[in-house]
Structure 1
Amino acid sequence: MSDESMPELRREENVADEQKAKQQTRPWLTPMFVGIGLGLVIALGGLGVLTQLPPRQQKAVADKVPPQANPVMTVTVAPVQATRVSRTFNTTGTIAARDLIPVLPQANGLQVKIIPEDIKEGTYVKKGQVLAILDDSMLQAQMSGARAEIESKQADVGSRQASMVSQEATVESYQAIVRQKKADLAQAKAKLEEAQKNYLRYRKLAIAGAISLQELDTRAYTVKTAVEVVRVAEENIRGAQANVLSAQANTGSAEANIYKAKADVRSSVAKAIQLQTQLKQTVVRAPISGIVAEKLARIGDVTGIPPQTQVGTVIGGTQKLFSIIRDGRLELQADVPEIQLPQVEIGAAVQISSDIDSRVQLQGRVREIQPLVNDKRREATVKIDLPLTNLLRPGMFARAAITTNSAIAMVVPQKAVQPQADGSAMIFTLSGDDLVRSQKIEVGEPINSELVEIKNGLQLGDRVIIDGAGYLKDGDRVRVSQ
């Protein structure tokens, strides 16, 4: 080998070494190149076969391979689910106070003097709050007279008690005289007894001739004198005892006068207490807590004498001043046809709504079913308790959906249902991964603001299109949002 060919050979060896090094540093290129080559061969072979077919067969093959459509839009889907659905029937009624309490004056014939400015219809008042104040000037005057009369009667009792003390002292004095007279009588009897003994002894002496008859007569006179003294003493005792009885009678009369005077005091006190009670009744207070439904009283009205415009507000002969809805509780008095009454149960849930106020979406409960059916309309009144709310007032009209029973039903979001011009409804379902299919359905009752019942047309587990359903048609392809 010549020297000229050596450099050329070395260059070729260097190039081969560089290519070998590149192949070692990029081993992943080999499979890629192999795959590309195989693809080209298959494609060219297919084109060759296709070119060998007649033109008519070439067109048929081309029609059997449709082009892949791009997704129309991105949508969200939800499965058809089963849930418990309440069956209801609809009726109407009037809002009324559940318990309307009249406020009557406890004192008649008094003028309404003050009504606080914050007492108005619709105002919430607490039990015991002042609703009105009546003029009490006449009662105050009567109260002053009653107090003066009590003081006078009490002074009379004191005077009569002093008189009785005096009478008791008189009785005691007469009793002392009786005791003294009895002592005098005892002394007189003792002297009489002694005189009689002396007379008997002197009589014996006179009979024996020891003394003269004149001496005996003296002793007989002494006996007569002693007998008279005893008689006078007994008379004195009887007189003194009579005085005692008279004084005791006067004492009893004085005691009776005291009892009468005390009774007069008690009567005056009772009258004063009654006036005091009437004075308290001049302040008209709320008997319960609740909302003022009616304000009938006006300043200047006289209680018990209703104005001509308030003749219908008299209850039991007494003018009604106010009426209060106890605790602000309202009820719906719904009219239910008699054929539907068997479906209504006490405690059943009721959905309350209003045609004029969309905010009224309340949940009530059946509290009472009136026993009488109107013989003209063939309806009964069903009373439905309402929750506390400021959206309703007595006398308003409202609608009620009364729950009768519940069952398991299929539900879908309301946004998935597409109303049609003929009154029917349609829904789009997702077939496969991206293909849209339209399906006619039969819609039942709305479950809430988001779900609606499907009676027919779907099966549990079907995927319905929600967002974007209004812009689709049957056969569209969509992309499902994850």
Structure 2
Amino acid sequence: MNYPHSEIRSDTPTTVSGESLSTVEWGEQRSLPWRWIILGIIIVGALVATWMLLSSGSGTAVPAADNEEQAPRITVIAPGRGTIEGAINATGTLAARREMPVGVVGEGGRVVSVPVEQGQWVRAGQVLASIDRSVQNQQASAQRAQIEVAKSDASLAQANLDRALQLVERGFISKAEIDRLTATRDAARARVNVAEAQYNELLARNARLNIVAPASGLLLERNVEPGATVSAGSGVLFRIAKGGEMELLAQVGETDLAKLTSGVSATVTPAGTTKAFSGQIWQLEPTIDQQTRQGTARVALPYAPELRPGGFATATISSGTLVAPMLPESAILSDDKGSFVYIVDKENKVRRRGVKTGLVTREGIAVTDGLDGSEKVVLRAGGFLTEGETISPQLEGGDKAQTAAKTQSKG
């Protein structure tokens, strides 16, 4: 039966099991199911929180199978074995490989011309500077005249001897006179030879007044100007790099120097530029500096405008190859017992392994002893682990790295 809405009253007593309830008692009875629902939600939340707490801890209530899953995740690496190119970094000064100092070789004099500039290429025999020779030219002219006089005397002596030989057959001249005239003729001829030799000497002296290049090359220094008076004691006037060849005087520690030999390749980068030049060691100096404990490796370089003698440069010198595992620096630890790494065994427990290191490259450090490359090595966080601790190893690079490591270890 339908009743009008206005006739329903909220304070109307309700009968339950034959007993009437007041308005308040009726309201409390209606809210009772919601209290049970809320209480149930709280209990369920508490149970979930307790389970999460137990699963993240190390309580005895967690099954042994779950302990491995809850061990700390540590990144490991399987290094394998590879060919490592060794390199030694060194610094040094650029210089001419064969530097030729040029000075005055004659008696010197006043410089009248210098037709070359530093940085210019010169050829063997090219005049670098000329010295005034006006006096020497006059001396040469006078000596040439002496040659003509000596030749005239020799001609006269020869004529006298020829006439005497015609008269000796008739008995007008004695044999002794013939001998005297012959000696006179021979002396005149000798004086001609002396005069010519003196003349040639003057010409040679005059030629030495020109300062010339002893060989072809690059002119590095010019230390004279026209008008200067020079002599044999004037010092070096020019410096030439023979053939333009350069070198780097690389300073290398005595330990690394023992690893090098002549013919080893090197890459040289001059200061102030990123351009690299290829060269090779052509000489290892036989001495070690007692103060720095370094030796000099001389790296031959071809001519290039960027290679300026006296400049600073760095070199990367090849020191051979090595087949060994390569590890990042973070994987190698050290203590008073030496260098070591942490490896992971079949039970996922951390084990200490002593190692010996070798070449250091940009890719890492070579391990020459202690590893064969198939081990799982802790990559990082080794300082926070203890030997025998159980971890959850995660191979760096994921599944692809693990597959590659297995393939490499089989090979």
The TM tier, using the shorter chain, reads 0.5 to 0.7
Aligned positions of 1:133-212 closer than 5 A:
133-174=130-171
Q: Is the 8 A contact 1:88 1:401 kept in 2?
A: yes
Q: 1:382, 1:145 → 2: CA distance?
A: 57
Task: Tell me the residue number matched to 2:285.
Answer: 370
Q: 1:286, CA displacement in angstroms? A: 1.7
Counterpart amino acid of residue 361 in structure 1: A
Task: Tell me the residue number matched to 1:94.
Answer: 93
Q: 1:259 aligns with which of 186, 190, 196?
A: 186
Q: 1:339, CA displacement in angstroms? A: 2.0
Task: Tell me the residue number matched to 1:270.
Answer: 197
Post-superposition CA distance 1:19-54 (Å, at most 9, x none) = xxxxxxxxxxxxxxxxxxxxxxxxxxxxxxxxxxxx
Match of 2:85, SS? strand
Q: Is the 8 A contact 1:122 1:291 kept in 2?
A: yes
Task: Tell me the residue number matched to 1:131.
Answer: 128
Q: 1:393, CA displacement in angstroms? A: 1.0
Q: 1:326, 1:282 → 2: CA distance?
A: 22
Q: 1:336, 1:157 → 2: CA distance?
A: 72
Q: 1:407, CA displacement in angstroms? A: 4.4
Q: Is the 8 A contact 2:285 2:295 kept in 1?
A: yes
Q: Does 1:403 align with 2:330?
A: no
Post-superposition CA distance 1:100-135 (Å, at most 9, x none) = 11223332233221111xx22221222232211222
Match of 1:140, SS? helix
Counterpart amino acid of residue 247 in structure 2: E
Task: Tell me the residue number matched to 2:108.
Answer: 109
Match of 1:359, SS? coil
**1:371/1:131 CA distance change after superposition, 3 Å:** same
Q: % of aligned pairs identical?
A: 27
Task: Tell me the residue number matched to 2:337.
Answer: none
Counterpart amino acid of residue 108 in structure 1: E
Post-superposition CA distance 1:254-281 (Å, at most 9, x none) = 1111111110000001111222223333
Q: Is the 8 A contact 2:105 2:232 kept in 1?
A: no
Q: Does 1:290 align with 2:224?
A: no
Question: What value does the CA root-mean-square deviation take over the aligned residues?
Answer: 3.1
Q: 1:352 aligns with which of 268, 273, 276?
A: 268
Q: Does 1:325 align with 2:241?
A: yes
Counterpart amino acid of residue 95 in structure 1: L
Match of 1:373, SS? coil
**1:86/1:295 CA distance change after superposition, 3 Å:** same
Structure 1 unmatched runs, 5+: 1-55, 57-79, 176-243, 308-312, 314-319, 412-443, 447-451, 464-482
Q: Does 1:388 align with 2:303?
A: yes
Task: Tell me the residue number matched to 1:340.
Answer: 256
Q: RCO (CA 8 Å, sep 6+): is it higher in 1 or 2?
A: 1
Q: 1:91, 1:143 → 2: CA distance?
A: 58
Match of 1:161, SS? helix
Q: 1:357, 1:341 → 2: CA distance?
A: 27
**1:83/1:339 CA distance change after superposition, 3 Å:** closer
Structure 2 unmatched runs, 5+: 1-43, 45-78, 327-359, 367-378, 380-395, 403-411
State the TM-score, normalizing by the size of structure 1. 0.50
Q: 1:161, 1:132 → 2: CA distance?
A: 47
Q: Is the 8 A contact 1:410 1:453 kept in 2?
A: no
Q: Is the 8 A contact 1:91 1:399 kept in 2?
A: yes
Counterpart amino acid of residue 304 in structure 2: T
Q: 2:300, 2:215 → 1: CA distance?
A: 19
Which is richer in strand?
Answer: 2
